[in-house]
Chain A
Amino acid sequence: MSQALLPTLLNLLLRAFVVLLLPPLIPGLITKIKAWMAGRSGPPVLQLYYDLAKLAQKQAVFSRTTTWVFLAGPVGTVAALLVASLLIPLGHTAPLLAFEGDVILFAYLLGLGRFLTVLSALDTGSAFEGMGAAREVSFSALAEPALFFGFAALARATGSLSLTPMLQSHGMWTAGHLSGPLMLILAGWGIVFLAENSRIPVDDPNTHLELTMIHEVMVLDHSGRPLALILYGASLKLVVLGALLVDPLLPVLSKGWLNGLAFLGGLGLLAVVVGVVESTTARFRMNKVPQFLVAGVLASAFAFLLLLV
């Protein structure tokens, strides 16, 4: 009995740690890598934790133009991401819930977060935030098909409609003819990852210039605890979408806790890669971003086509 209980408990602990405590570390890692590559020492890796703690103690200020929808953005996004994290496997550990068709729920929960963020941006009645909202919905219309083509390809390859079997069938990927499609899927999803998390080359998370903002501009007016939720939500999104990228590549290890460690290592590696990418590429001109996203769609679509022959 305790044999079965211990792994489950460890699993739960790992999940709680990854979902609740780990996320703010990832942006810190990325920022550190970028600073290191630029020859600076940069802020400490735990900076975001300090920021969240500081914001949690500050009073939020609301504009007279806003309504309750303004709060629905941060609250809804974090809630949706937390529910989505229940569905996604972390490495080769089992998720809390897995059932047929949970991919759709996963994708639509992300969409829910996006919807509420866009609405909270429009609620401020400012031209800047409207601009960010308009760009966000236009680009996500291109990113969705990329995500879905990737899911379709994985569903076809694994014959299953649930996230866990899709992402964890590592044994199949070592077979030669499947690694090509996998690389294409990960390329497509990598583009979606960069777009959804507002990383260079799609969007610069550190800029506040009108020409270049997409996600940053939507959260301009938040302060205090809502801003803390937004920052936390952004980091959680990095983890959740990062799990999509990392899981198919992880090897299957013998012990449960080794799998968990492998996943954490994979996330760390992903953060390093993102940092390097951000440091070495320049941000695209705004009208190049749709082309970039279409390239992602094509990559996923080609992955699907390759699986047919």
Chain B
Amino acid sequence: MRLYLLSLLLAACSGIPGLFLRRRGAEVSAGLMTVSALLGLGAAVGVLAGGPVPSLRLPALALGSPSLLVLDAVAAWFLIPVLLLAACGAWYGVRYWEEAHGHPRWVRLVFGGLTAALVLLVAAAHTWLFLLAWEAMAIGAFLLVLTEDRLAEARRAAWIYLVSTHTGTLCLFGAFALLAGVAGTWDLGALPRGFAASRLGTQTFLLFMVGFGLKAGVMPLHIWLPPAHAAAPSHVSSLMSGVLIKMGILGMVRLITWIPDPPLWWGALFLGLGGVSGILGVAFALGQHDLKRLLAYHSIENIGIILLGLGLGLVGKSTGQPALEALGFAGALLHVLNHSLFKGLLFLAGGAVVHATGTRNLEQLGGLAKAMPWTSGAFLAGSWAICGLPPLNGFVSEWFIYLGAFRAMAGARWPWSVGVLAALALIGALALACFAKAYGTVFLGTPRTAAAAAAHEAPRAMLLPMGVLAGACGLIGVFPMAVAPALDRAIAGLGEALPASSRLAHLPLVTVLALTLALLALGLTRWVWAGRRSEPVPPELPTWDCGYAEALPRAQYTASSFAEGLVTGARWVLFPKVQGPQVQGPFPEPTRFESHVPDPVLDRALEPAFRLGARGLVLLHFFQTGQLPVYLLYVLLTLLFLLIWMVV
């Protein structure tokens, strides 16, 4: 517990020295954050390796109840990505967000505060502490999204985020209040049997789902994710996408831990939401041409995959199939960790691109692999992992979920889980398309604009965190047995007597095959290289391109044209907005072509609804006189009305 508390304290204070130090403030705060991360990771590893579970009772707060911190296995599991991404982000921010961007000391301070709130949240075992940490996290993230407050886009994104997160917190207040009524105490713990099936249980569950779903970015509650991730500084986006949205998942996981007998429709709801989020998330990502919005939609897709895993586990729990339960939960929790790693990596690499070229627009980039080889390698590693391709870590967690779905299907009377299989297969194929587009458009080919041609490699302070994350992805992918025991301990709280994941999935064979793959690749590369002859080859040969040599950079496929086949094929789902060129007459004027895929819920449903509502509310302008006494009169009349109502 001491390690954990020290880590918490250091994280919170990591930004403070930076306020006073003139020169090395950034390095000092990054160093403090690293120390905090190492301490916290030590505590987490200790718990996950089978050590005792530390807990702490704080003295009574003014509200009259003691507060409780418990660093159990689930908390330790979620603590790992928090600290890892925070430390990597802090080092990244040293060179990424410097004086020229505005408020670097403020960003460091709030970043430290946000990390501390997250560290507190994972171990909170008392309602008030949980809500306090939740709010602190939400406000911290809001402040960080608002960093570039001179841009209208950032202000809009922060506003949407604030409204969404507070709607969620409101639902959580209600749900926790109902829960406390049943449990009789504000401590968070197991609930009685039969509660989940009652009407009160259903109401509580739905409130929790809305509250946690808003934070996690489940469709259709995802509206804040794309704007917020696009507007925030990249190391903040990486923390938000990697960890913040996982706190919604943490909430759902904790809920599953408290309920010993979930009804079947809970699992079905999770599966439905997971499928929708997954498929629609990746479909909308295909249509984006802003790099960070694309990555944000992929976060929605991966949350969908995590929900599919949780759904499988819940169904297993309801129907008494421990193997299915174990596979589903293990896949979901492992994907939580994996997604944090590779999404954090992708945002950091994307941020390096933005830092070097000044634009997020895919259509204005290109050919960056030559100027930024390490960043390109990092982004490739992240793309490789997020598509779930072996031998990296994305494959292992998706494999668990596939195994669960297959098992559920093989013996059941109604094999509903074939839908899960088809959904995962479709998601995988579409994610591959989208990341081929993203990586190919940004890093491969030739630069499309002068800004892209002038790019430079990111400084070492930015490259090192990317390397750490990529290494972690590779490690988990090639040696999944290393994390299997920790994973088993983490899911132990979710159900009763779950079998070990190492018995259900043959993880050592994955390692063997991964190493074989690597060896074969090395061997073949050596064979190819050995084919070099002694005669020199002219070095500056253009692409042959079927004889059309010297093609312009503008002739390359753009990101939109790459994805056009799929976007047009899915136009009844995506509703792309295409503004075609006006070509008239024999000598037409220069014209333009634009295509966008606006967000379905925010841009196509909510904003028109709000505009309609605003038009209706204009009718109430009569009451808005602008005069203070009139408003006070309204207050007086309300008071009188209430008094009289109380009497009669």
A and B touch in the complex (CB under 8 A): yes
Q: Is the CB of B548 within 8 A of A65?
A: no
| B384-422 near A? 1/0 per residue, CB < 8 Å | 100111100001001100110011011100110010011
A-B contact count (CB 8 A): 240
| A130 within 8 A of partner (CB) | yes
Answer whether residue A5 sits at the interface, using C-beta atoms and an 8 A cutoff: no
Min CB distance B426 to A, Å, is 6
Chain A nearest CB, measured from B520 CB (Å): 4
Known: A99-B509, A111-B387, A221-B543. A83 touches B520 (CB 8 A): yes
Of B149-157, B183-191, B554-562, the stretch lying at the interface with chain A is B554-562
The answer to whether the Cβ of A149 comes within 8 Å of any Cβ in the partner chain is yes
Contacting pair B429 A67 (CB below 8 A): no
Interface centre among B510, B545, B566 (most CB of A within 10 A): B545
- The answer to whether A272 has its CB under 8 Å from any CB of chain B is no
| B555 engages A127 (CB within 8 Å) | yes
A225's contact among B380, B531, B544, by CB below 8 Å, is which? B531
Q: How far is the CA of A86 from the CA of B390 in the complex (A)?
A: 15
Interface pick from B220-228, B246-254, B438-446: B438-446
- Contact yes or no, B541 A155, CB < 8 A: no
Chain A residues whose CB sits within 8 angstroms of the CB of B370 once the complex forms: 67
B129 touches A (CB below 8 Å): no
* A226 and B505 contact, CB distance less than 8 A: no
Residue contact A290 to B367, C-beta cutoff 8 Å: no
Spot the interface stretch: A54-62, A179-187, A245-253: A54-62
Query: Quick check: is A175 within 8 A (CB to CB) of the other chain?
Result: no
CB of B496 within 8 Å of the partner chain: no
B-chain residues with CB within 8 Å of residue A221 when the two chains form the complex = 543-545
Contact of A112 among B389, B505, B566 (CB under 8 A): B389
**Is the CB of A8 closer than 8 A to any CB of chain B?**
no
A4, CB-defined interface residue at 8 Å = no
Interface centre among A129, A140, A149, A160 (most CB of B within 10 A): A129
Contact B545 A129 (CB under 8 A): yes
Cβ-defined partner of B390 (8 Å) among A62, A109, A128, A160:
A109
Query: Which of A61, A125, A133, A160 gathers most chain B CB within 10 Å?
Result: A125
Contacts of B390 in A (CB 8 A): 105, 108-109, 112
Cβ-based interface call for B565 (8 A): yes
Cα(A65)–Cα(B542), bound, Å: 7
Which listed residue (A59, A101, A156) contacts B505, Cβ 8 A?
A: A101
The answer to whether A82 has its CB under 8 Å from any CB of chain B is yes
Q: Which listed residue, A75, A101, A128, touches B402 by the CB 8 Å rule?
A: A101
Distance in Å from the Cβ of B553 to the closest Cβ of chain A? 7
B residues within 8 Å of A by Cβ?
Answer: 366-367, 369-370, 373, 376, 380, 384, 387-390, 395, 398-399, 402-403, 406-407, 409-411, 414-415, 418, 421-422, 425-426, 428-430, 432-433, 436-437, 439-441, 444-446, 505-506, 509-510, 512-513, 516-517, 520-521, 524-525, 527-528, 531-533, 535, 537, 539-546, 548, 551, 553, 555-557, 561-566, 569
Given contacts A118-B440, A126-B556, A127-B555, 17 further A-B contacts (CB under 8 A): A57-B531, A61-B541, A79-B517, A86-B516, A104-B402, A105-B513, A118-B436, A125-B543, A133-B436, A133-B440, A134-B562, A137-B433, A137-B566, A138-B433, A149-B422, A160-B410, A161-B410
